[in-house]
Every structure is written in C-alpha cells, then in structure tokens.
C-alpha cells in the first residue's frame, strides 16, 4: 500500500514543521491512526533521499537530554512538491471514490 507513496507521506509529516526521524514516524502514526505497518527504519533512507533531491534540509541540534539529533524540514522545493503530490492524490482519490460509489455488487449468473 505504501509503495510509491512513502516520499509523499514523509513530506506530509514534515508539513507541520521541522522534526527528527523519530518524531516524523510518530507524526505518521498519529495522522494515519496507525494505519501503516511500516518498519521504522524505512523512514531514514527516505529522509536522506528527499534531502538529496533538495526537498528537505537537515541540521544537527542538541536536545535537552544532551543527545545530538538530526532535524529535517521542508525546503521551498519540498513544499511545492508536497502541494503538487497532494493535488495529484486528491484527483486520484476523487476518481476512485467516484468509481467505487457507482459500483454495484457483481452477481454470479444462475
């Protein structure tokens, strides 16, 4: 289900503001109401890939606990990419919704 949509999900999780990897995963779980059974380690390659593509920027910060953590945030390009993907997804979702709403249950001929 997630294949091909992970980048959009990560971008959407960062739409609220900068966050580190663990917080991104928590945000995905919260917003999706735990709908995705996602190995948490999958998020980091996606974060790095999106950063390499210029859609995210990252920096080290020191947390209150004294641990250094990498915080990611959307770049302007990332914001534009998210808006585009949202629009595409909305069109797709509307189209599928329309199709499913108009589907009658198929009956096997006697």
Encoded tokens for 44? 């980091």
At residue 9, the 3 state secondary structure works out as helix
- In the complex, the smallest distance separating the C-beta of residue 3 from another protein, rounded to whole angstroms, is 7
66 is a contact residue toward another protein (CB under 8 A): no
67 is a contact residue toward another protein (CB under 8 A): yes
Encoded tokens for 26? 């928590």
Q: Binding to another protein (CB under 8 A): which residues in 14-33? A: 20-22, 25
- In the complex, the smallest distance separating the C-beta of residue 82 from another protein, rounded to whole angstroms, is 20
Across the chain, the runs of DSSP E, i.e. the strands, are: 19-20, 56-62, 68-74
Question: Which CB contacts under 8 angstroms, 24+ apart, belong to 39-44?
Answer: 42/6, 43/10
The only residue of 39, 66, 102, 109 in contact with another protein, by rule CB under 8 A = 39
Helix (H) or strand (E) holding 51: helix 43-52
For residues 50 and 59, what is the distance between their CA atoms, to the nearest angstrom?
Answer: 14
69 is a contact residue toward another protein (CB under 8 A): yes
- In the complex, the smallest distance separating the C-beta of residue 83 from another protein, rounded to whole angstroms, is 23
The residues that touch another protein, with contacts defined as CB under 8 A, are: 3, 20-22, 25, 39-42, 44-45, 48-49, 52, 67-70
């Amino acid at each position: 289900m997630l294949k091909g949509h992970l980048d959009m999900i990560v971008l959407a999780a960062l739409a609220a503001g900068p966050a580190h990897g663990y917080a991104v995963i928590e945000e995905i779980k919260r917003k999706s109401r735990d709908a995705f059974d996602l190995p948490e380690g999958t998020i980091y390659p996606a974060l790095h890939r999106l950063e390499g593509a210029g859609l995210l920027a990252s920096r080290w910060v020191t947390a209150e606990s004294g641990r250094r953590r990498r915080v990611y945030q959307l770049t302007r390009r990332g914001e534009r990419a998210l808006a585009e993907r949202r629009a595409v997804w909305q069109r797709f979702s509307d189209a599928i919704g329309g199709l499913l709403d108009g589907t009658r249950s198929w009956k096997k001929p006697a």
